[in-house]
Structure formats: structure tokens, C-alpha cells
Amino acid sequence: MIEIKGLSKAFAGRNGEGAVQALEDVNLTVHDNEFLTVLGPSGCGKTTLLRCLGGLVGWDQGVVEIDGKPVTGPGPERAMVFQGIALLPWASVLRNVTFGLELRGVSKSEADDRARELIGLTGLKGFENRMPNELSGGMQQRVGLARALAVDPDILLMDEPFGALDEQTRRLLQEELLQIWEERRKTVVFITHSMEEAVLLGDRVVLMSARPGKIEEIVPVDMERPRSAHIDSVEGSEQFRDITAQLWSRLREWQVDVGRGQR
């Protein structure tokens, strides 16, 4: 379980300007095996929150704990998937997926076996020896997901992993991610700008306010699982439309308030 208590984070301003408050008094619990989606306006601190969870940046106040242990840096129980895919350009798909395993001292034969399983799971079978520049954006993102899963983390931290993809590829990867999650039940914290994506994937949707980022509301997504086999019917349901409309109503209200200088 992830516990965030009173988390605040500011960044130093540039050129002598004042500090920028990215997060302010964030409190959140993420349950084991939960798929939590996080939604909010640009610049609200979503990525900063995820980087704090990953131990990639520090914070000014508050506590971040995983199973009761404070986060002080990156750890083997967590893996991150970013929108900007940082694949090794000189390495094949197979070598990219085994990279984290090799760093952990896993034998080459065991790493290769695990990587080939995940390459198949993420729809990359037959591309093991291709180089990153030979792959589409969607295929590169699949490699990034397979690499994260290869180290078998308890927690997946995903920062808008499908945000730069075309709509067709994005929908295919949403379906694949749901299938993988339904099979492996990792704890997932997934950042997105899309209300539809947040509802389709999540057990709960966290709504963050404009900067400084605070958690304004947590909306439960009480729709049956598994969803991957019938995404079209899920998105066409009245319940899906109602939850999405609720999210938009809240986000629009906050944006209007910001425009009027009320927040």
C-alpha cells in the first residue's frame, strides 16, 4: 500500500523569480493491486507527484511510504513508464527488455526467457531483434512497458504513456494494458489528461486542482471488471458517460474559477 501524507513540493524559480509551488498538502492512499488514475489540468503537479512516488525527486514536507517504509529513492518494487520513451538506441528490442534484469544480476538465459515472454504478451513477437529506430511510436511504448514489467515490480508508475500516440494505437494499448493488469494485478498509478482513459482504466480517479496541486476529489469507478474484452460496451454504457460527465463538470468548474482569479 502507498501512503502519501501532507506532501508539498516547490521548485526554485528561474532568473531570480520566486519559487513555484508544485504540490501542496497532498494526502492519498493507493491500495494494493489498485489501478489508480490521476487527472488534472496541465501544470498541476501530476508528474511531480509520480516522480516523488518513484523516488526520483525529493520534497519539502510530508511523507511517502510503501508498505510502511519511507521512500528515500528509487527501489526495486517500483518501475516507471514515461511518455517520452527512453530506449537504448543501440540495443535490440530483446536487449532493451532485458536491460533492467541484467543490472540486477539475472543470468542472460533467465533474462532472455523472461523478456521473450513479455515481448509476446505486449504484442512484439517477431520483433525481438529490431532496433528502436525501426519501430513505430506505439511499438516503442510496448517495449517500454515490457521492460518495466520484466523486473516484476509490485508498483507501476505510468506518466501519460499513451499521450503522444495516435488514437487507434492508443486504444489498442489501453486494451493491452488492461489485459496485462487483469492477469498480473500490479498496483498502478497512471497519469493522464484524458477523462475517458481515466475512467476506462481506473478503479478510482484522483482529480487534482490547478497549481499548486492538491487533491480536490476522488471519484470511484464502480464498473465491473474485467473490461479489456468488451471495451466498446464499457465506453458505450450510461455509467461510463455519467462518470465522465461528472469529471468534466468538476474540471470545467475549476478552470472557469482559475480564469476568473478565484483559485
Q: Which three cell numbers stand for residue 92?
A: 535490440
What per-residue confidence (pLDDT) applies to 257?
A: 58
- The pLDDT confidence band at residue 9, using thresholds 50, 70 and 90, is very high
Which residues lie below 8 Å from residue 104, measured CB to CB, with a gap of 6+?
76, 151
Query: Span 30-59+67-77+154-238: which CATH code?
Result: 3.40.50.300
Of 67, 86, 228, the residue nearest 148 (C-alpha): 86
Q: What is the pLDDT of residues 57-97, one digit of tens each?
A: 999 999 999 999 999 999 999 999 987 778 899 999 999 99
CB 31 within 8 A of CB 204: no
Q: What is the pLDDT of residues 25-58, one digit of tens each?
A: 999 999 999 999 999 888 889 999 999 999 999 9
139 CB neighbour count, 10 Å cutoff: 20
Q: Domain boundaries in the chain? A: 30-59+67-77+154-238, 84-152
What per-residue confidence (pLDDT) applies to 83?
A: 79
